[in-house]
Amino acid sequence: MNAETKKRLIEGGVDVEGALERMLGSETLLLSLLKKFVKDGNYEKWLISMDARDHEGAVEAAHALKGISGNLSITELYRLFSKQVEELRAGRWEEAQAMRPQIMEAYERATGAIRELET
Amino acid sequence: MSNKNCSEKQEREDTLLIIDDDEINREILYHIFAPYYVIEQAENGEKGLDFIDANVERLAAILLDVMMPGMNGIQVLNHLKESGVLDMVPVFLITAENSDKVMEEAYQLGVMDVIKKPITPYIVLRRVQTVIELFQARRRLSSQVRMQQENLLAQTEKIVLLNQGMIEALATAIEFRSEESGNHVRRIHDITECMLSKTPMGEGFSQEEIQDIALASILHDVGKIAVPDSILNKPGRLTPEEFEIMKTHTIQGADLLDHIPQLREHNSYRYAYDIARHHHERWDGKGYPDGLVGDEISVWAQVVSLADVYDALSCKRVYKDAFPRERVLSMIRNGECGVFNPELLSSFFSVEEELSKLYVKGEM
């Protein structure tokens, strides 16, 4: 991984050092998993559930995204999904809804940086 | 060859099963554990359970996610608890879950440890490996203990058989000296055992005690070792002096047994001592050496004394021919060989038919 790639990922919200530690230093594995994250269906499910005010579906998707973003050290996204899972579990739907733009922004920032790697 | 290696590998507990619906999480765990274990993956609870059912012997551990579509991790745990798998294979919950309620339930079901996402590789690896080693050591140890127990049992059995063999050898050696075959001691053993197991004379004795008494009965004449050949093998009637010497085989036998310390610790000892000394006592007090009367004579000594008379009458001895069965029974009934306990006699006659089968021609 060159310095430029690493810089872009960090700007996208990925704690590259932390993530590499989890991958036992394997950059190949990290890059491969980040690409899989972009294609992961849970984000779609989350968007649809939030639109449909499907409480259960939203918790499931947010919880899954929390786990994945945590393991990939996409730090800000992990923090936001963790908070949203708590709000949803506590039945605070409006608060959870209010987090939506923030979460979408962090998600776009991360996936945008990752997509650039493919070229 | 490669097949053989493969099947050997499958027999050991070397497989780690990862059950997680998310591929990214599975791959991270795979990457951490692949250098140490054969990794199998299941993308949901149902597939995980199917794999466990078919491969439980080769599983070293199971890593289980909690929130999964369909059957969740807690439901999987419930199934594993019911089928007893949780006692054999350590299960780790790997989860982004923060809820205390879920953790508590998991621990109560018997999960080995809960590891939070995002995971830290060296912590996950260390915790899982430590528990796997513990389980494997426990399995090795318990199979070792089981093997040692089996060995001990086998050795104990050998010692018991050896003891019996030594006792029989000693008794037979003495019988041979008085020119009788070893069958006499064997028949005394069988008659004693039969009387105690199948008649009211054996009431209150356990099977084990009956075996101890039957073994002890073999030694009833052990004191004859101290009686000179000239008396022991005299074809004609003994003089009063000679008979006095012959009678000492009772006391000599008890003394002899008393001088073998290893025998004193044997369960048969107290019976053997008493039988050797008192198998010539009679119910009316006219026996020897102590002239005991009635119930003063132990049940086992009474049984052996009658067995001894029955066998002596039924067989040829140096001093007499074998009597016909009718004659044997009438002599016993009429007290021609001394008076016996009436209950003992009625017990004896109730099984005599069976006992008479011991005296098939050619086996005496």
Q: How confident is the model at residue A84 (pLDDT cuts 50, 70, 90)?
A: very high
- Which ipTM was obtained for this model? 0.90
Task: Give the CA angle between residues B45, B47, B48 to the nearest 5°.
Answer: 60
**What would the pLDDT profile of B18-50 be if each residue is shown by its tens digit?**
999 999 999 999 999 999 999 999 999 999 999
Query: Is B72 within 8 Å of chain A by CB?
Result: no
Token code pair at residue B177: 């000296």
What pLDDT, on the 0 to 100 scale, is given for residue B322?
81
Which carries the bigger pLDDT value, residue B323 or residue A85? Answer: A85
Task: Give the CA angle between residues B93, B99, B101 to the nearest 5°.
Answer: 85
Mean pLDDT computed over B354-362: 79
Cβ of A70 within 8 Å of Cβ of B118? The answer is yes
CA distance B45 to B104: 20
Domain boundaries, chain B: 2-146, 178-359
CA distance B27 to B7: 26
**Tokens 């591929």 correspond to what residue?**
B23
What pLDDT, on the 0 to 100 scale, is given for residue A117?
83
CA distance B47 to B20: 10
Q: What are the start-end ranges of the H helices in chain B?
A: 2-11, 23-33, 45-55, 73-82, 85-88, 100-109, 121-177, 183-198, 207-217, 229-232, 240-247, 249-258, 261-264, 269-278, 299-314, 325-333, 342-356
Cβ neighbours for B305, distance < 8 A, ≥ 6 positions apart: B278, B279, B280, B281, B282, B287, B297, B340
Respond yes or no on whether the N-terminal peptide bond of residue B118 is cis (omega within 30° of 0): yes
Phi, psi dihedrals of residue B317, rounded to the nearest 5°: -125, 170
Among B188, B194, B207, smallest CA distance to B315 is for B188
Query: Is A78 within 8 Å of chain B by CB?
Result: yes
| Partner residues linked to B115 by β-bridges | B94
Residue pair A28/A34 in contact (Cβ under 8 Å)? The answer is: no
Cβ neighbours for B1, distance < 8 A, ≥ 6 positions apart: none
Predicted confidence (pLDDT) at residue B176 exceeds the cutoff of 90 = no
The catalytic residue positions of B are 224
**What would the pLDDT profile of B55-66 be if each residue is shown by its tens digit?**
999 999 999 999
Mean pLDDT computed over B354-364: 73
What pLDDT, on the 0 to 100 scale, is given for residue B181?
61
Phi, psi dihedrals of residue B15, rounded to the nearest 5°: -110, 135
**What would the pLDDT profile of B239-280 be if each residue is shown by its tens digit?**
999 999 999 999 999 998 888 877 788 888 999 999 999 999
What pLDDT, on the 0 to 100 scale, is given for residue B180?
64
Residues 35-74 of chain A with CB under 8 A from chain B are 36-37, 40, 42, 60, 63-64, 66-68, 70-73
The highest-level CATH class for domain B2-146 is alpha beta
**What would the pLDDT profile of B100-109 be if each residue is shown by its tens digit?**
888 888 999 9
What pLDDT, on the 0 to 100 scale, is given for residue B4?
40
Q: Which residues of B touch A32 (CB under 8 A)?
A: 27
Cβ of A26 within 8 Å of Cβ of B121? The answer is no
How far apart, in Å, are the Cα atoms of B169 and each of A113, B193, B250, B263, B266? 95, 19, 19, 14, 16
**Tokens 């049992």 correspond to what residue?**
B153
Among A32, A30, A104, A98, smallest CA distance to A65 is for A104
Cβ of B31 within 8 Å of Cβ of A63? The answer is no
Mean pLDDT computed over A19-32: 93
Phi, psi dihedrals of residue B260, rounded to the nearest 5°: -105, 100
**What would the pLDDT profile of B68-89 be if each residue is shown by its tens digit?**
888 999 999 999 999 999 999 9
What pLDDT, on the 0 to 100 scale, is given for residue B15?
96
End-to-end CA distance of chain A: 14
Token code pair at residue A83: 């908070």
Give the three-state DSSP class for B312. helix
Among A29, A43, A103, smallest CA distance to A72 is for A29
CA distance A41 to B22: 10
Rg of chain B over all Cα atoms, to the nearest angstrom? 37
Residue B67: which of A24, A60, A86 has the nearest Cβ? A60
- DSSP assignments along B335-363, one per residue: TBTB---HHHHHHHHHHHHHHHGGG-TT-
Interhelix angle B240-247/B249-258, rounded to 10 degrees, is 20
Give the three-state DSSP class for A14. strand
Among B263, B261, B280, smallest CA distance to B272 is for B263
Residue pair B18/B44 in contact (Cβ under 8 Å)? The answer is: no
The fold of B178-359 is: Hypothetical protein af1432 (1.10.3210)
What pLDDT, on the 0 to 100 scale, is given for residue B363?
47
Predicted confidence (pLDDT) at residue A96 exceeds the cutoff of 60 = yes
Q: Fill in the amino acid letter for B278.
A: H
Residue pair B96/B48 in contact (Cβ under 8 Å)? The answer is: no
Q: Which residues of A touch B71 (CB under 8 A)?
A: none
Domain annotation for chain A: domains and CATH numbers: 3-117 (1.20.120)
Mean pLDDT, rounded, of chain B: 89
Task: Give the CA angle between residues B339, B341, B343 to the nearest 5°.
Answer: 140
Cβ neighbours for A1, distance < 8 A, ≥ 6 positions apart: A16, A27, A31
Predicted confidence (pLDDT) at residue B9 exceeds the cutoff of 50 = no
Token code pair at residue A58: 């939203």
Q: Which residues of A touch B68 (CB under 8 A)?
A: none
Chain B residue closest to A22 (CA)?
B121
| Partner residues linked to B116 by β-bridges | B95
